Amino acid sequence: MADFESAEDDGGKKKSGLIVTIAVVLVLSLVAAGGGWMVGGIIAPQVDQPETAASAGSEGKDEKKEEEAEDKPRENVLALEPITTNLSYPSDNWIRIEVSLVFIDEPDQAMADRIHQDMLAYLRTVSLQQIEGPRGFQYLREDLRERVKLRSEGRVNDLLLRTFVIE
């Protein structure tokens, strides 16, 4: 009989151990889910809710008129003459780019000519290995954009590469 009673005690201990394990797993899962929700709320971008039509009232009509005025194209893009020059290494390779400058205000032709000459001088120092592949092209575009912004003292907003050919 003693053997029968000890078998029942082991079964009872196994059941209570299983219940404790399940409870611990459930508590840890809830803590993990709550932590994930909290971190997601911190990392996720905050999106402003659009105003309802009733609260916008007459302000919405004024904003629509302003947006329509902003949608009209401005003539502040100036296309530069194509730049064709040889690369520094190998010197028998040529590069040709066509660029447009996006001015913040009215385009300035004299400044555009200085920027054109600066870009020409810079492209003569570039080697083929520096501009190979998509990453090299991205670096070249960033370098040109930075030089344009410095040369224009902030009056040029952006640089648009229209064509890019290496021969």
Angle at Cα 129 formed by Cα 121 and Cα 134, nearest 5°?
95
Q: What is the pLDDT of residue 9?
A: 55
Sequential pLDDT tens for the chain (167 residues) = 455 555 555 555 677 889 999 999 999 999 999 998 888 888 876 666 555 544 545 555 555 555 555 555 566 899 999 999 999 999 999 999 999 999 998 999 999 999 999 999 999 999 999 999 999 999 999 999 999 999 999 899 899 999 999 99
Neighbour count for residue 8 (Cβ, 10 Å): 9
Of the candidates 56, 62, 80, 63, the residue with the CA atom closest to the CA atom of residue 159: 80
Sign of CA dihedral 40, 46, 47, 49: positive
pTM attached to this predicted model = 0.55
Q: What is the pLDDT of residue 1?
A: 46
Q: What is the pLDDT of residue 40?
A: 82
Give me 28's structure tokens. Answer: 């840890």
Give the H/E segment covering residue 77. strand 77-79
